[in-house]
Structure 1
Amino acid sequence: MKLTTTGCGVGCWSRSARTVRARAEEEKTWPDVIPADRLEAAFDVLRARGFVAEMSASTTMSGGWEVSRELADLRREQGETIVGTVFFDQQDAASAMEGHPLHLAYGLVNDAEDDAREDERTEAEDAKVSEDAAAVGRTIVEVLREHGFTPEWSGDASSRITLKPAFVWRRRRARVDTTETWSLGEGNRILALLVEFLPRLRAFEFFPGDGVGVHELRSDSLRELTLCYDREEAAKDALATVVAQARERFPALQSLTVRAGGFEETVEL
């Protein structure tokens, strides 16, 4: 997770936290399963079958293909076989936010060797590529149907898949971030105000100060908290107050550590 504090002080980040918190409260009123959840589950299945599957892959269609190629190359380097790709770009998402059907791009993701000889393919080879791309489309449509959608598709590899029924696109923010461990330097302590929006966070380390302290933070998932100080005396003094604060703000917390230079003390909770 990469965030920057440039141009934004404590008040700014506090307002941002309130905005995200309000969205989290709104999401609690949503049904247990929304269309975006089913689409995300479908994409998970496709990834497991060797697909690159990305939501809002880029700002444009061409950018989405570039993202697909980069991800495919990375996974090939790890020994995976890539079957194909499926994605939609940010323009598609913006349209779906207005209730229009979501359109999916798909196809084969060539490696560098295939790209180099694309202009040299015979007519029979081109036909084989088209059939392979159509097979990719058939697999995607099948998986989408298994997840409750009724996609429209001509069966032609040159046409996009239209996801139906149409729905207003929205996605749960709580499912976006998967950070489990987080360490903030002294210059980025303001970002600690966002710790409550990391639903899988287990271990967190930061420097309290400048109006950002344990009493202002909260997390239902945090297990290990480390507080860093410039001086050993400050770390020792902090134990008199932060243990009680941490118990209140982090109900799942199991250990609290204070650290300064070579000094370190851990309290099991």
Structure 2
Amino acid sequence: MDASEIRDSVGDFIDTETRRGIGTFDEVVAATVAHLGEAAEADEVRPVVAEAFAAHLEEQRTWPDLLDSDRVHRAFRLLEIDGIIARTDFMCCRNCGVGAIEEQVAREGRRAHGYTFFHAQDAVTAVHGGGVELCFGALAHSPELTGQAIVTRLRETGLRVDWSGDPGERIFVGAKWQRRRLGARADFPGGPVRTSAPLLVTRCDYSREDGYEDDVPMTLAECRGALYELPPVELSFVGAETTVDGVATRLATYWRIEDGRARLWSEVFHPGQFDHAGRYVSLDEIDRVLEAFAVQRRVVLGELGELTAQF
């Protein structure tokens, strides 16, 4: 197949997979070949996927610092701290999503009393402007209380949320779903190479086999978004590095699972001043610390309270 035939046949599929922002270039190419039933070779598909990646990155440059998807991810991280497991673009369907969450709860000993997520089929609708519909359920307490807790957290972030109060109906979030492509998820043959940004970021997501990536240049908004995206898995972290007082300094924020509960631990390494000293933080607190670190090049973690040795 030539490029025009591929665009006509699976252009919408390629656009959707690119906008979902999860798969790398090679993964989107492989998914497209599989979607075509192997009617085209990977080398024939690559130029068309590269066009989609280039267009996405160009559009991404015009996005605001705080996206609706950031707001959803932030609300979901707060829900995790509250005891409700929350995932985005998770598994292929409702049944598989519920099964995977129940398995995680049993495996990790999470003291969760509910869950919420939207799955891959929902993501297809979401990236094309259809908003997000959330599945949810109770593992303890009542489904009505779980649904109301989810709605409250989402509305606190400024999102429009519609729910009838019936636990048999899904929760609709009027969010424009946009996923940033950064680092390996932004790379494609012939694509731009980003060499500078206020922060060099390392992210380690133990929920993914390919979840480790280091020295990714990011803005404050991008780093904050990466932290919001990170699901709570023991010792998964986002670390940012910049220069403070002429010295390379690193701020890292980890998820800890203690007594089945998710908590955030943040620590700083600044030679001669802080040697992996840190403390537990709220999401509001790490927002403040990260902004001072990226914009003012200041370490303000100690202003929140006493710092202790590495956990």
TM-score, normalised with respect to structure 1: 0.50
Q: Which has the larger strand fraction?
A: 2
TM-score, normalised with respect to structure 2: 0.44
